[in-house]
Amino acid sequence: MNKYINRKGPTVTLFTMFKIPFQYAPIHSIILLLLTILDGLFFTLQVMVTTKLINSVVERQETNLLLIILLFVLVLSYQWLSQDIANLFKIKINIRISENINEQIIRKISRLHYNHIENNDSWDLISRVKPNMSKNVGNLFYKVLGFVTLVIKIVGILVMIFSQVWWAGILVAVLIIPLSFLVRKGAKENYKAEIAISNNTRRAEYFGNLMYQKDAVEERVMFGFGDFINDKYQHFYDQAQSVRFKTKRIWFVKMKAGSVVSSVFLISIIFSFLHPLLAGTITIGFFISISQAIFSLIQRMSWELTEYIDNFTTINEFKKDINRFFQLEEDLNALVLPSKKIPQLKSIEFENVKFKYPGTERYVLNGISFKMDANKTCAFVGANGSGKTTIIKLLTGLYDNYTGTIKINDIDIKSYSADELHAMYAVLFQDYNRYQITLKENILLGDINNFDSNSDKLNELIDAMNLRDLVNALPEGINTNLGKIKEDGVDISGGQWQRLSIIRALINRAPLKILDEPTASLDPISESILYQEFETLTKENTTILISHRLGATKLADEIFVVDSGRIVEKGTHGELMAQGGLYAEMFNSQKGWYMQ
Ligand SMILES: Nc1ncnc2c1ncn2[C@@H]1O[C@H](COP(=O)(O)OP(=O)(O)OP(=O)(O)O)[C@@H](O)[C@H]1O
């Protein structure tokens, strides 16, 4: 089973990004492109009409004056309206882009190799790409269109200048080159700064969320640590802002210096028209309208042009992030449904398994070996951090960068197909999720293949887990929305959420049930009912139970004691107590709490 892939899709280029709006909103994009070209042409047309208008008035040519005035008003009105029309099209294009791109990003994230889920650099990258991707695709498209308009306007004016004072035209064209280089360099530095601060931005966002997330409210209010969190938020936010501000300040000074030089240069060109004006080679109409156009050009070149190049360079840097993101390794199995055929489980075996988490140096599992047979309940006990949950992460295939062998039914788990392996187990993880959907859906998610045909089993388990009273008290019974996202949502207690999560694992037909601290939030009576019923609930199943409550694990057929990534003792409760080792010590110290 080749589980992981390095998805080498086609590399994203600026051109690929530019084409995206045509792909998702073709008609709107084409119309916007045509409007853009028209917009550019109308600028030159305006200069020509203004020239004609002034000359006709100065020379008192009354023929056609009305027509020229009408044309003048039309050109101005179009320019005035065109932005609003374009904005309407942009709204539609933006909606289509974000619909499609967000879906692709979420799909990619949901397929990510588990290594990236716990890796800081990957999350920094995701936090830069996810919120900005559709914005940048739209931005690139509009900036290219804006740039096309600007180029058409500049070319139009240059042609006019050329036709009258050719050398001035050449000087203007030459000025654009160094200005472009200056802007490009500044924009690259800006993006580098963004990459450097993305970790601080993410941390600021985390502390910001803590300030308003519902889950954090109680502790924040009770302990009164709101200011502490706020200070942390402010610290990371200020650090990010200060780097951003410094880079922007340097950028601004450079850009403005460039603009001032170009402005002085362009104004001097207007003076160079005085001579041909006095010599009578250009008309007063042309002088006024071209001067006006050159002033507008100064503004565009010194600000818009620099802004465009800045934007393109930033988007080009962002494009590198997009490629890094789409090249992140995926886990082919992440979205694979469990096979509908229920496999038979005979045994599970770890042979000298050594494992360290990616990017760390310490072996969390250090040559662990054990074998357990089917149709039994096995418990893993041991101190915090001894490696119990990690055993489960490896057994369920979340990580496969270990040495040694993990076998199910004497076959290496790496030889199983993903759907076969997924059908083998149902897991209740320690940090299970509270899904803000209906109570029924919360349970049925556990057996997605039989989502619509599990009603009988669902009711049986609700009774067995002592949740019937809760269901009866809910306004819509099992169809009541849980959590506060929906208006009619109902919040239930921590223990009730946990009982739901146990049912989610038990409703699954997989032969191996893995329960990692399943009763931490249960009251003593519910816990004891659960363990009394445990045998019935897990009949015909093999169960792995991880718990610090040794009163519960005592009932297991076999207990494995984990210490520093190894199995140090194994046996039944009686055998381990008789050994008088680590288990006996842990059991006696816990028993002491109840027996005094
Ligand atoms: N994603 C991770 N990256 C790096 N180290 C990790 C990661 N997850 C766990 N560890 C480390 O691996 C060790 C074993 O963790 P594990 O969760 O398996 O312990 P555990 O025995 O289940 O502990 P507990 O009883 O507290 O649940 C711990 O020292 C922990 O710090």
Residue owning the nearest CA to atom 27 of ligand 1: 384
pTM assigned to the model = 0.68
What is the atom index within ligand 1 of the atom nearest the CA of 386? 21
Within 13 Å and on the Cβ side, how many CA atoms surround 423?
A: 16
- What CA–CA distances, in Å, run from 107 to 223, 326, 335? 39, 11, 9
DSSP label of 12: P
Model pLDDT, residue 2: 43
- The pair of structure tokens assigned to 68 is 């020229």
Centroid of ligand 1 to alpha carbon of 99 (angstroms): 38
Ligand 1 mean position, distance from CA 380 (Å): 14
When the pLDDT of each residue in the chain is averaged and rounded to a whole number, the result is: 84
Say if ligand 1 is within 6 A of residue 390 CB: yes
pLDDT in tens, 381-437: 999 999 999 999 999 888 888 999 999 999 999 998 888 888 999 888 888 888 888
DSSP 305: I
* Ligand 1 pocket check for 431: Cβ under 6 Å: no
Which ipTM score applies to this complex? Answer: 0.97
Question: Highest-confidence range of 1-10, 377-386, 548-557, 587-596, by mean pLDDT?
Answer: 377-386
DSSP 3-state of 537 = helix
- At 386 the pLDDT is 93
Is the C-beta atom of 565 inside 6 A of ligand 1? no
Closest ligand 1 atom to 565 CA: 14
Residue having the nearest C-alpha atom to atom 6 of ligand 1: 357
Q: Is the CB of 50 under 6 A from ligand 1?
A: no
Of all protein residues, the one whose alpha carbon is nearest to atom 28 of ligand 1 is: 385
Residue 30 has pLDDT above 50, yes or no: yes
Q: Which one of 115, 120, 357, 392 would you pick to mutate in the ligand 1 pocket, going by the greatest count of ligand atoms within 8 A of its CB?
A: 357
Where would I find the H helices in 449-523? 455-464, 468-473, 494-507
* Cβ(398) – ligand 1 distance below 6 Å: no
What kind and span of H or E run contains 514? Answer: strand 512-516
Q: What is the DSSP string of 104-161?
A: HHHHHHHHB-HHHHT-HHHHHHHHHHHHHHHHHHHHHHHHHHHHHHHHHHHHHHHHHH
Q: Whose CA is nearest to atom 7 of ligand 1?
A: 357
Answer yes or no: is the C-beta of 386 below 6 A from any ligand 1 atom: yes
Cβ atoms 314, 139 nearer than 8 A: no
pLDDT tens per residue, range 213-271: 766 776 777 777 778 888 888 998 998 888 888 877 887 787 777 777 777 777 777 78
The DSSP 8-state label assigned to residue 524 in this structure reads H
Residue 399 near ligand 1, beta carbon < 6 Å: no
The tens digit of pLDDT for each residue in 53-104 reads 888 888 777 777 888 889 889 988 888 888 889 999 999 999 999 999 988 8
CA of 421 to the centre of ligand 1 (A): 23
In this structure, the residue with its CA closest to atom 10 of ligand 1 is: 357
Q: What number of other Cβ atoms are within 10 A of residue 468's Cβ?
A: 12
Query: How does DSSP assign 327-364, residue by residue?
Result: HS-EETTTTPPPPSSPPP--EEEEEEEEE--TT--S-S
Residue of 361, 364, 432 with the most ligand 1 atoms within 8 Å of its CB, for mutation: 364
For ligand 1, atom 3, name the residue with the nearest CA.
357
Q: What is the mean pLDDT of residues 108-134?
A: 84
Model pLDDT, residue 94: 94
Determine what percent of the chain is predicted with pLDDT higher than 90. Answer: 24
Q: What's the CA-to-centroid distance between 364 and ligand 1, angstroms?
A: 7
- Cα–Cα distance, 465 to 162 (Å, whole number): 87
CA 22 / ligand 1 centre spacing (Å): 48
Q: Which pLDDT value is given to residue 1? A: 46
What domains are there in the chain, each with its CATH number?
A: 4-331 (1.20.1560.10), 345-424+510-596 (3.40.50.300), 432-509 (3.40.50.300)
Cβ–ligand 1 distance for 118 under 6 Å, the answer yes
pLDDT of res. 5: 53
Nearest atom (ligand 1) to Cα of 430: 27
C-alpha distances in Å from residue 559, one per residue of 119, 355, 518: 33, 22, 17
389 lines ligand 1 (CB under 6 A): yes
Ligand 1 geometric centre to CA of 389 (Å): 7
Name which residue sits closest to atom 4 of ligand 1, judged by CA: 357
